[in-house]
Amino acid sequence: MNKITAAITAVGSYVPDFVMSNQVLETLVETNDEWITSRTGIKERRILNEEGKGTSFMAIKAAQNLIEKANIDPATIDLVIMATATPDLPVASTGVYVATQIGAVNAFAYDLQAACSSFLYGMSTASAYIAAGRYKRVLLIGADKMSSIIDYTDRATCIIFGDGAGAVLFEPNEEGLGVQDEFLRSDGVGREFLKIEAGGSILPPNEDTVANKQHFVHQDGKTVFKYAVSGMADVSEKIMERNNLTKDTVQWLVAHQANKRIIDATAHRMGVDDSKVLVNIEKYGNTTSATLPLVLSDFEHLFKKGDNIIFAAFGGGFT
Ligand code: UT7
């Protein structure tokens, strides 16, 4: 019997209709379109602004988009992994709700949280289950409603983040296609530089934590930027070396969309041409767990069987 690898066989996505442009942000904080565009590459982001709708709303839409496009019977899905840093509720898995809503009646489901690397780590988990022969259809969804944890008076965070969702299906492949290798790392030094201080077990919510805005994301952008540049470039270079890939044999870079300058630095270290670097940050900003599947979905038409694609991400934790 041939070795089983885990291939991505279908992609779907969803972004909310409401567009928050840089011009709108100019009315909320001391910033301007020129600064945001030149420092981050972002022009606009989508916001889920309908009351009562959480991350699951977008995740369900992305999964349904995949199911319709690929004509999949949801009852044949074995596992749903929900990559998210913004679950609907602190307790009660969002993935479980999503799986039920999409009709994945024979699946089990859970959430996976690794900040902006949630989807990438989820790819590791999903592909390992498939390669081990344990499950045949694993649906990995990356979705985040970042607007629910962003302070729109803090210009260091509100300009970057947006809301969105993407989904991919992993299935067994016997031609050697699909996930080939991975190099994942994490470093607890990052905890101080990007976090939500309150609402967890160390500092449960109280009136002061609300008044002090401790339920929003705070980041030391400069430090995160520094670690992100070296972290993403290091792992991408490593994976190329380890697999004897060159700038010519890599077809695409699918990188976490946090800042165009971080993506460019990664591409530069890899030596790949700009035409191989897939970027949609200008439309969506940083959607955390959704950036990688949104890139796959937006550029699906470009991919050919056998293309070498490098995925890279960096996030809070650090992850
Ligand atoms: O997904 C993983 C998580 N996050 C990231 O990967 C984000 C990583 N960090 C970044 O992308 C960047 O650090 C930011 C985009 C957040 C900030 O860009 P920067 O080039 O690192 O700017 P900075 O924080 O060093 O600030 C430079 C200047 C400062 O003014 P002075 O002190 O030089 O006068 C800031 O006060 O720009 C000012 N500034 C702004 N000006 C206009 C900071 N934010 C803004 C803003 N609009 N939104």
Ranges for all domains in the chain classified under CATH 3.40.47.10: 5-173, 188-312
Q: Which residue bears the tokens 């009351």?
A: 51
Instruction: Give the confidence band of 120 by pLDDT, cuts at 50, 70, 90.
Output: very high
- pTM value? 0.97
pLDDT in tens, 47-102: 999 999 999 999 999 999 999 999 999 999 999 999 999 999 999 999 999 999 99
pLDDT recorded at residue 1: 65
pLDDT recorded at residue 295: 98
* Residue among 36, 40, 259 to mutate when testing ligand 1 (max atoms within 8 A of CB): 259
Neighbour count for residue 165 (Cβ, 10 Å): 35
pLDDT of 311 over the 70 cut = yes
Contacts of 167 (CB under 8 A, 6+ apart): 11, 12, 13, 59, 62, 63, 65, 66, 139, 140, 141, 142, 293
Residue 243 gets the label, from left (phi > 0), alpha (psi -120 to 50) or beta, of alpha
pLDDT in tens, 194-217: 999 999 999 999 999 999 999 999
Residue type, 298: D
Nearest CA to ligand 1 atom 3: 315
222 CA → ligand 1 middle, Å: 6
CA dist 195 and 239 (Å) reads: 28
Candidates 22, 158, 256, 259; catalytic one: 256
Query: For 79, what's the count of Cα atoms within 13 Å in the CB-facing half-sphere?
Result: 21
Q: Supply the mean pLDDT for the chain.
A: 97
State the architecture of 188-312 in CATH terms: 3-Layer(aba) Sandwich (3.40)
User: What value does the mean pLDDT take over residues 165-188?
Assistant: 97
pLDDT recorded at residue 2: 81
pLDDT recorded at residue 288: 98
318 CA → ligand 1 middle, Å: 19
CA–chain centroid gap for 164, Å, is 9
pLDDT recorded at residue 265: 95
Candidates 22, 116, 158, 259; catalytic one: 116
> Measured from the CA of 31, which atom of ligand 1 is nearest?
47
State the architecture of 5-173 in CATH terms: 3-Layer(aba) Sandwich (3.40)
Query: For 303, what's the count of Cα atoms within 13 Å in the CB-facing half-sphere?
Result: 21
Mapping DSSP onto H, E and C, the string for 115-139 reads CECHHHHHHHHHHHHHHCCCCCCEE
- Does 155 sit in the ligand 1 pocket, CB within 6 Å? yes
